[in-house]
Amino acid sequence: MIKLFACLGSGNCFKPWLAMHQLNIPFEMRLIDVLAGEQKSDWYLDINPNGVMPYMVTEHGVGLGESNAMLWYLAEGTSLMPSSKTDRAVAQQWMYFEQSKLEPYISPARFFTTILPQERENKAAEITQWQDAAGAGLSRLNDHLKDHEFMLASGYSVTDIAIFGYVHVMEEAGLSLTAYPHIARWIDAVCATRGFVPLSELGLKSVKAA
């Protein structure tokens, strides 16, 4: 059975967790307390020497880091994997975009705004910089979604999950969702997909083998 090591509230951890729920893939999950530094404990470093989250051990015992790599693995041979060569290339293009233009800015701004608010004042200048940088990526995403129900013309896919992970919690990073109406509409569409489970339930639910 697949094993997922994750931490509460993480958009990156949410991605493979959601995919496995929507695909009804059995898995076991171990929550790691990153605020307590558990990701640097000896037992966890023996599993994942990089000491970061999320981390997945496949049913064949292969360790995978990087949330989007996990998504690609899970989507193989399923309805979440784009069927055409072109769509798969476009999917990866947007998944690279998410990791370079969105997550690096939304994630830390959210962390010091909502998850560790006692550091918000000390990080005020950096938060503003992260928010400004995220705005450029969000504007591009909003423009794309103006004419697309989901990220790909072929429909809901692994690409949507990859981008949804942090974009849907942008307000927790101090970013206004009302400024991006097409993103807001898309978030509602993703939440309405079959088998969707919200981030707030991460840690409460895992798909078990029958």
Question: Which of 23, 42, 39 shows the shortest CA–CA distance to 31?
Answer: 39
Mean pLDDT of 40-49: 95
- Which pLDDT belongs to residue 149? 97
- Which pLDDT belongs to residue 203? 79
- Give the number of other Cβ atoms within 10 Å of residue 129's Cβ: 14
Mean pLDDT of all residues belonging to the chain: 95
- Which pLDDT belongs to residue 209? 44
71-87 burial, b for 16+ CB within 10 Å, e for fewer?
bbbbbeeeebbbeeeeb
Mean pLDDT of 186-198: 97
Mean pLDDT of 3-13: 96
- Give the number of other Cβ atoms within 10 Å of residue 62's Cβ: 9
Q: What percent of the chain has pLDDT over 70?
A: 97
Q: What share of the chain is helix, strand, coil (3-state, %, to 5)?
A: 55, 10, 35
